[in-house]
């Protein structure tokens, strides 16, 4: 005989249903099939009926389909409700990533005391909820009916844990799965810490290997979540399972060990904070010290993780099933995120939401290298959830200086990796040097070691002819193979950033470009007094060679910001050329705002009106002065070119 079952969410459901039916007198054999959502059983001639079997399944917390009708059991959300919940969860997830909460992972340092490691665990538990919350919740609530329970009558007895006999289920039994899950995690972390501390050798995987592990883990998370939702029944055949004998030994009747084993396996999952702690344990060089450090860290993550899971465990069975459906959606979303991280760790940012982080105040969109003594020098800054992109030239050795403040370093943005070049750099507060030689033009993905913060290294054929299109390309992280892990929000340009108080534009001298051979050229000298001239005029639509001549470079004038093109350019002595095709007027300034200049774009240089241009520039200068006043009042503004 067979019965179609509703509400099976994993292979453990097979065992629970089999135990519920096998406990009935008159049942000779029973076999549940998760992939087919059915049970097959044999009855003796003692008078037991198929209705009795169905009632046992319903009491165990599942539904039975008989003659096309559902009898009792779990009730979930409709497809429309699930879609709505998924949209809300995704919105909350993106909002949290936009605020940078997922990236607030403290750095693990060898100088830390053991007490502080516990605090690090407490702070990191928010990241644990983001990464493993779905698994945690599912393990905490779905074992609630491990033994068949008498049919409920819809009263409060189902919530308080009182069965028909009047016997109270201890409250601790309701939260036991969550306790077991977290106990397994603590034991696993502690043992791994001891092993790592004892062998004194690195256990973290290489960037690409880690990416493959994360990708596979994410894929199975998505499959697991879809199976819990029962969206694609055929995927149930892909669910990995232990041999029957081992399953019975671990999870047999009255052996509520499922969450405990999942907790043990949780210690093997690829996770940024966890692997940081493994490196800390590695540095102890001792089994005891490594185990103790990991133990304290893991205990620190327990309060929030246990509380999160217990909330679901103390709910009624019907409501718990709905919560389980929501957790399944969370698992799918986080699994998709892990897949994106896996690709990013292999050099491919396939999902735009895992592109560059939102540029914070003070960040520059693009940093262009400068040639000096046979190598190219480039400087960029790192923020808590943002890497400034750079532009370099192919075939020339690069000396890249990365500057980062101590307060901006965290467990997500450090270390920084370039998967395609097999570069992984641990950052320290201050200046950090990376050297490499790009061999071909194109976009190279720059990412954090978890694949969650992405940026761009644009390689061009000639650094002296960087165009406005190159600047625009560099400002956007690669999104696919054609272009080459906890922040979102798009590329962000210098137009989104805080602008320093700008000095007035000197309009005493106005220099028009000279057109020759289909190209226009104009030169600005960099002096101690500023830009000379500060105003130049270009003709619209004609390729322009805009030269900054480093006559007297200073700490102030060697770096120039061009907001309209999202560019920060560092100049060297003598000639520094920029190629662009001007279309609209724009201003530029030295990086601290002491010197300001302006590029006026006209339709015909031969017919330009110098006095009219001077008045226009003076009006722009006044507008920038008004902008300064707004900045003083902390009013957010958007600078227009």
Tell me whether residue 417 is exposed, middle or buried, using C-beta atoms within 10 angstroms of its C-beta: 0 to 12, 13 to 18, 19 or more.
Answer: buried
pLDDT of residue 213: 58
SS (H, E, C) 112-172: CCHHHHHHHHHHHHHHHHHHHHHHHHHHHHCCCCCCCCCCCCCCCHHHHCECCCCCECCHH
363 pLDDT above the threshold of 80: no
Which is more confident, 489 or 116? 116
Query: What mean pLDDT do residues 170-190 have?
Result: 77
Do 546 and 603 lie in a common domain? Answer: yes
Closest CA to 354 of 426, 447, 422: 447
Do 236 and 332 lie in a common domain? Answer: yes
Cβ pair 547, 521 in contact under 8 A: yes
> Containing domain of residue 10, as a range?
2-71
pLDDT of residue 482: 31
449 falls within a domain: yes
pLDDT in tens, 409-428: 876 677 788 887 888 888 88
Closest CA to 504 of 631, 640, 617, 630: 617
Do 452 and 482 lie in a common domain? Answer: yes
Query: What mean pLDDT do residues 570-584 have?
Result: 86
Backbone angles phi, psi at 114, to 5 degrees: -65, -35
595 falls within a domain: yes
503 falls within a domain: no
638 pLDDT above the threshold of 90: no
Which is more confident, 625 or 115? 625
For residues 132 and 448, give the distance between their C-alpha atoms in angstroms, rounded to a whole number.
20
Look at strands 416-418 and 423-425 and give their pairing: antiparallel
Residues 6+ apart with CB under 8 A from 98: 358, 487, 488, 489
408 pLDDT above the threshold of 70: yes
pLDDT in tens, 182-229: 888 899 889 988 887 777 544 444 555 556 656 676 677 677 667 666
For residues 150 and 57, give the distance between their C-alpha atoms in angstroms, rounded to a whole number.
10
For residues 636 and 495, give the distance between their C-alpha atoms in angstroms, rounded to a whole number.
12
pLDDT of residue 56: 87
What is the number of other CB atoms lying within 10 angstroms of the CB of residue 35? Answer: 16
pLDDT of residue 149: 33
For residues 77 and 605, give the distance between their C-alpha atoms in angstroms, rounded to a whole number.
68
485 pLDDT above the threshold of 50: no
Do 599 and 526 lie in a common domain? Answer: yes
514 pLDDT above the threshold of 90: yes
DSSP letters, 365-376, are S-EE-EEETTEE
pLDDT of residue 256: 47
Q: 3-state DSSP call for residue 65?
A: strand
38 pLDDT above the threshold of 60: yes
95 falls within a domain: yes
pLDDT in tens, 520-550: 999 999 999 999 999 999 999 999 999 999 8
Which is more confident, 325 or 448? 448
pLDDT of residue 630: 46
Q: Report the number of distinct structural domains present in the chain.
A: 4
Lowest mean pLDDT, pick from 17-31, 267-281, 562-576: 267-281
Do 24 and 67 lie in a common domain? Answer: yes
158 falls within a domain: no
pLDDT of residue 94: 60
Where does a domain end: 324, 345, 366? 345
pLDDT of residue 210: 58
Which is more confident, 238 or 363? 238
161 falls within a domain: no
When pLDDT is cut at 50, 70 and 90, the band that residue 561 belongs to is: confident
What is the number of other CB atoms lying within 10 angstroms of the CB of residue 628? Answer: 15
Do 47 and 121 lie in a common domain? Answer: no
11 pLDDT above the threshold of 60: yes
For residues 136 and 182, give the distance between their C-alpha atoms in angstroms, rounded to a whole number.
9
pLDDT in tens, 241-261: 545 555 555 445 444 456 777
Distant-in-sequence contacts of 90-93, Cβ < 8 A, 24+ apart: 90/333, 93/130, 93/333, 93/337
636 pLDDT above the threshold of 50: no
When pLDDT is cut at 50, 70 and 90, the band that residue 178 belongs to is: confident
Beta bridge pairs of residue 308: none
120 falls within a domain: yes
Backbone angles phi, psi at 217, to 5 degrees: -60, -40
In order of 60, 90, 323, 433, 531, the CA distances from 77 in angstroms are 20, 17, 10, 54, 66
User: What is the CATH classification number for the domain harbouring 547?
Assistant: 2.60.40.420
Do 338 and 236 lie in a common domain? Answer: yes
When pLDDT is cut at 50, 70 and 90, the band that residue 166 belongs to is: very low
Closest CA to 413 of 386, 434, 394, 435: 386
pLDDT of residue 391: 92
CA geometry: angle 34, 38, 42, nearest 5 deg = 120
Which is more confident, 54 or 152? 54
For residues 596 and 592, give the distance between their C-alpha atoms in angstroms, rounded to a whole number.
10
Closest CA to 298 of 112, 133, 114, 103: 114
Do 404 and 520 lie in a common domain? Answer: no
Do 59 and 120 lie in a common domain? Answer: no
**Mean of pLDDT over the chain:** 71
Chain center to CA of 180: 29
pLDDT over 90, % of the chain: 16
For residues 336 and 354, give the distance between their C-alpha atoms in angstroms, rounded to a whole number.
11
Do 401 and 522 lie in a common domain? Answer: no
502 falls within a domain: no
- Supply the DSSP symbol for 61: T
Do 226 and 314 lie in a common domain? Answer: yes
Closest CA to 209 of 350, 341, 354, 342: 342
User: What is the CATH classification number for the domain harbouring 65?
Assistant: 3.30.70.100
For 308, half-sphere exposure in the C-beta direction (CA atoms, 13 angstrom radius) is: 23
Where does a domain end: 293, 311, 345? 345
DSSP letters, 378-423, are EEEEEETTEE--EEEETTS-EEEEEEE-GGG--TTT-SEEEGGGTE
pLDDT over 70, % of the chain: 55
Listed in sequence order, the DSSP H helices in 391-550 are 468-474
**Ramachandran assignment for 199, one of left (phi > 0), alpha (psi -120 to 50 degrees), beta (any other):** alpha
For residues 423 and 48, give the distance between their C-alpha atoms in angstroms, rounded to a whole number.
68
pTM, two decimal places: 0.43
Beta bridge pairs of residue 599: 536, 586
Which is more confident, 301 or 587? 587
Do 337 and 361 lie in a common domain? Answer: no
When pLDDT is cut at 50, 70 and 90, the band that residue 341 belongs to is: low
512 pLDDT above the threshold of 60: yes
pLDDT in tens, 289-308: 778 888 988 888 888 777 76
């Amino acid at each position: 005989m067979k019965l179609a079952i509703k509400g099976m969410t994993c292979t453990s459901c097979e065992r629970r249903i089999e135990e519920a039916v096998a406990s009935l007198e008159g049942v000779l054999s029973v076999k549940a099939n998760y992939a087919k959502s059915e049970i097959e059983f044999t009855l003796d001639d003692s008078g037991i009926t198929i209705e009795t079997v169905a009632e046992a399944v319903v009491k165990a917390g599942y539904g039975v389909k008989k003659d096309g009708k559902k009898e009792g059991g779990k009730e979930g959300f409709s497809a429309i409700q699930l879609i709505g919940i998924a949209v809300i969860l995704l919105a909350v997830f993106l909002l949290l990533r936009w605020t940078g909460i997922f990236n607030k992972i403290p750095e693990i340092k060898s100088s830390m005391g053991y007490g502080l490691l516990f605090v690090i665990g407490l702070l990191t538990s928010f990241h644990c909820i983001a990464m493993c919350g779905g698994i945690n919740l599912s393990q905490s609530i779905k074992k609630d009916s491990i033994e068949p329970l008498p049919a409920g009558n819809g009263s409060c007895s189902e919530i308080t844990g009182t069965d028909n006999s009047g016997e109270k289920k201890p409250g601790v039994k309701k939260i036991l799965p969550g306790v077991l899950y977290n106990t397994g995690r603590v034991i696993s972390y502690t043992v791994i810490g001891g092993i790592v501390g004892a062998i004194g050798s690195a256990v973290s995987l290489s960037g690409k290997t880690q990416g493959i592990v994360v990708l596979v883990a994410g894929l199975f998370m998505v499959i697991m979540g879809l199976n819990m939702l029962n969206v694609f029944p055929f995927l149930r055949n892909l669910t990995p399972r232990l041999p029957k004998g081992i399953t019975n030994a671990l999870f047999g009747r009255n052996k509520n060990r499922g969450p405990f084993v999942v907790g043990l396996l949780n210690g093997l999952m690829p996770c940024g904070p966890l692997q940081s702690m493994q490196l800390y344990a590695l540095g102890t060089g001792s089994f005891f010290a490594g185990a103790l450090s990991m133990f304290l860290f893991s205990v620190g993550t327990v309060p929030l993780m246990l509380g999160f899971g217990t909330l679901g465990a103390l709910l009624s069975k019907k409501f718990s099933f709905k919560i389980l459906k929501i957790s399944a959606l969370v698992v799918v979303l986080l699994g998709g995120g892990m897949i994106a991280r896996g690709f990013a760790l292999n050099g491919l940012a396939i999902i735009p939401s895992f592109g560059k982080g939102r540029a914070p105040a003070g960040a520059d969109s693009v940093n262009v290298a400068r040639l000096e003594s046979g190598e190219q020098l480039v400087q960029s800054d790192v923020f808590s959830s943002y890497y400034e992109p750079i532009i370099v030239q192919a075939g020339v050795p690069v000396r890249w200086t990365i500057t980062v403040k101590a307060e901006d370093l965290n467990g997500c943005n450090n270390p920084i990796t370039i998967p395609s070049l097999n570069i992984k750099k641990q950052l320290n507060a201050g200046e950090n040097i990376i050297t490499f030689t790009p061999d071909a033009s194109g976009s190279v993905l720059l990412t954090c070691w978890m694949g969650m913060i992405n940026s761009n290294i644009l390689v061009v054929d000639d650094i002296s002819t960087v165009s406005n299109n190159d600047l625009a390309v560099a400002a956007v992280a690669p999104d696919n193979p054609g272009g080459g892990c906890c922040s979102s929000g798009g590329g962000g340009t210098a137009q989104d950033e805080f602008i320093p108080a700008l000095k007035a534009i000197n309009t005493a001298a106005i220099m028009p470009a000279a057109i020759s051979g289909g190209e226009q050229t104009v030169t600005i000298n960099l002096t101690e007094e500023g830009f000379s001239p500060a105003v130049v005029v270009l003709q619209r639509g004609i390729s322009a060679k805009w030269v900054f001549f480093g006559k007297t470079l200073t700490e102030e004038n060697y770096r120039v910001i061009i907001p309209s093109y999202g560019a920060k350019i560092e100049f060297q002595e003598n000639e520094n050329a920029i190629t662009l095709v001007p279309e609209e007027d724009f201003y530029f300034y030295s990086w601290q705002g002491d010197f300001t200049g302006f590029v006026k774009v006209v339709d015909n240089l031969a017919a330009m009106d110098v006095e009219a241009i001077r008045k226009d520039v003076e009006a722009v200068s006044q507008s920038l002065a008004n902008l300064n006043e707004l900045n003083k009042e902390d009013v957010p503004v958007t600078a227009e070119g």
